[in-house]
Amino acid sequence: MQKILIGVLLLFVAVGSAFSAPSFFSTTGNILTPDDTLLTPGGFSINYHAIDYEDTDATPTIIGANVGVTPFLELGIARYDPDVAHADEETIINGKYLIAPETATRPSILAGVVDFTGELDEDNDPGLYLLVSKNLTRLASEMSGAPSRPLRGHLGFGTGIFDGLFASLDWTLNDRFSLMVEYLSGHEMCDGSAFNVGVRFALSNELRGDLALIDGDNLGFGISFTRIGL
């Protein structure tokens, strides 16, 4: 089933153009980690994501929506289904606030939360985080000695569902296809630390798909729709 899914999704890489969209936990970001992008005022996104765990029969899913409130604020809500017997579905509340935008010499600084009420954390702690992000394209070009495609780096620390440090890179390979790599020192959805890699591709200007390998052997997949704001 996984091989069939991978083949079907990769067929769509040939169309559309890539742009930022919801992560697997609905807030805009990469795989399990947020980035510093925000929906523009009046813009919105909806998403469906799932993780097929290799060593269990569970395939938890998340259906969510986000809206851009101001140029600096994004809010969202999602419904999480653990796909485990006798386990309840949970509603998670997300938000992101841009404290300082990126400049030529300074990274952007962003504060946010994934799962504000701590529904997914065993101690019921909210997933608060602080994130710094920087365009690394120039550095990549200097190191390689050749022009680089757009590359961004993100470094954060979080509580609750994040449980420590996390870092990620997203590399735009062309106008419709991007590569995401991330490391988390701890996460409620993984067995301790996790290294994840994924691809993001556009099916149209507003519709896109995600495909990821989470914690080494768990297949993550999803689709999202994003509408630019007013």
* pLDDT single digits (tens) 82-95: 998 888 999 999 99
Higher pLDDT, 17 or 194: 194
Does residue 117 register a pLDDT over 90? yes
Does residue 209 register a pLDDT over 90? yes
Domain 2-227 is found in CATH 3.40.50.300: no
Structure tokens that stand for 14 in this block: 């040939």
Higher pLDDT, 148 or 132: 132
- Residue 10: its pLDDT value, please? 40
- Residue 7: its pLDDT value, please? 43
Cβ neighbours around 194 below 10 Å, total: 20
- Residue 19: its pLDDT value, please? 58
pLDDT category of residue 68 using cuts at 50, 70 and 90: very high
pLDDT category of residue 6 using cuts at 50, 70 and 90: very low
Write the secondary structure of the chain as one string of H (helix), E (strand) and C (coil). CHHHHHHHHHHHHHCCCCCCCECCCCCEECCCCECCCCCCCCCEEEEEEEEECCCCCCCCEEEEEEEEEECCEEEEEEEEECCCCCCCCEEEEEEEEEEECCCCCCCEEEEEEECCCCCCCCCCCCEEEEEEEEECHHHHHHHHCCCCCCEEEEEEEECCCCCEEEEEEEEEEECCEEEEEEEECCCCCCCCCEEEEEEEEECCCCEEEEEEEECCCEEEEEEEEEECCC
The average confidence (pLDDT) of the chain is: 89
pTM of model > 0.85: yes
Cβ atoms of 69 and 41 within 8 Å: the answer is yes
Domain ranges of the chain: 2-227
- Residue 197: its pLDDT value, please? 97
Cβ atoms of 29 and 45 within 8 Å: the answer is no
Higher pLDDT, 38 or 13: 38
- Residue 148: its pLDDT value, please? 86
* pLDDT single digits (tens) 27-59: 999 999 999 999 999 999 999 999 999 888 889
Q: What share of the chain in percent tops pLDDT 70?
A: 91
